[in-house]
Amino acid sequence: MVKPLNILYGMSGLALLGLAMTLPFFTREMVLLLFARVTQSIETADSGTLVLSVFFYVLHQLVMCTFIYLGALFLSLAIVKQQASSLFQGFFAFIVIEAIFVENVIHTEQYSYTIHLLILSCAFILFNSVSNDKFRLFPLISVLILIILSLEWLNLIPSLSSLGFGSDDLATSIKVADGYLTNNKLLNSISTLFFILFSVLTLFFTLLIYTFNKQIHTLNKYQEQERELKDARIAVLESRVFKEVHTLVHDLKTPLVSIEGLTSLIEMVLPHHEKMKAYSNRIQGSVQKMKEMIAEILREDVRTQVQVKELFDYATSHTVLSHPLIAFSVESAPDLPAIRVNKIRMARALTNLIENAVFSIGNQPGHVVLQAKRDDSHLFIIVSDDGPGIAPEVIKGIWQEGYSTKHSSGLGLPFVKAVVMQHGGRVTIDSDANSTKVMIALPLYEKEEDDDKDSYH
pLDDT in tens, 144-156: 999 999 999 999 9
For residues 260-267, give the mean pLDDT. Answer: 76
Q: Which residues pair with 440 in a beta bridge?
A: 381, 427
- Distance of alpha carbon 457 from alpha carbon 440, whole angstroms: 25
> Of 275, 284, 285, 357, which is closest to residue 323 (Cα–Cα)?
357
The CATH number, out of the four listed (3.30.565.10, 3.30.360.10, 2.60.40.10, 2.40.110.20), of the domain defined by the range 304-456:
3.30.565.10
- Distance of alpha carbon 298 from alpha carbon 283, whole angstroms: 22
pLDDT in tens, 294-334: 666 656 677 888 899 988 888 887 676 667 888 889 988 88
H or E segment to which residue 384 belongs:
strand 378-385
Instruction: Give the pLDDT score at 380.
Output: 93
Instruction: Give the pLDDT score at 451.
Output: 46
Q: Which residues pair with 439 in a beta bridge?
A: 382, 428
% the chain with pLDDT above 90: 25
Please, what's the b/e burial string for 248-264 (b: 16 or more CB within 10 A of its CB; e: otherwise)?
Answer: ebeeeeeeeeeebeebe
Q: Which amino acid does the sequence have at 301? A: D
Instruction: Give the pLDDT score at 133.
Output: 46
The helix/strand count (H/E) of the chain reads as: 15, 7
The CA–CA distances, whole Å, from 252 to 245, 255, 261 equal 11, 6, 14
Instruction: Give the pLDDT score at 119.
Output: 93
Enumerate residues 6+ apart whose C-beta is below 8 A from 149: 58, 62, 198, 202
- Distance of alpha carbon 276 from alpha carbon 288, whole angstroms: 18
The CA–CA distances, whole Å, from 379 to 306, 420, 424, 443 equal 13, 12, 12, 6
Confidence of residue 453 (pLDDT cuts 50, 70, 90): very low
Alpha helices in 107-183 (DSSP H): 113-129, 137-152, 169-182
Instruction: Give the pLDDT score at 251.
Output: 61
For residues 409-429, give the mean pLDDT. Answer: 80
How far from chain centre, in Å, is Cα 35?
54
Total residues found in the chain within this entry:
457
On whether the CB atoms of residues 105 and 97 are closer than 8 A, the answer is: no
H or E segment to which residue 52 belongs:
helix 47-79
Q: For the chain, which residues make up each domain, given as ranges?
A: 4-223, 253-298, 304-456
Q: Is the pLDDT of residue 189 over 80?
A: yes
- Distance of alpha carbon 41 from alpha carbon 17, whole angstroms: 34
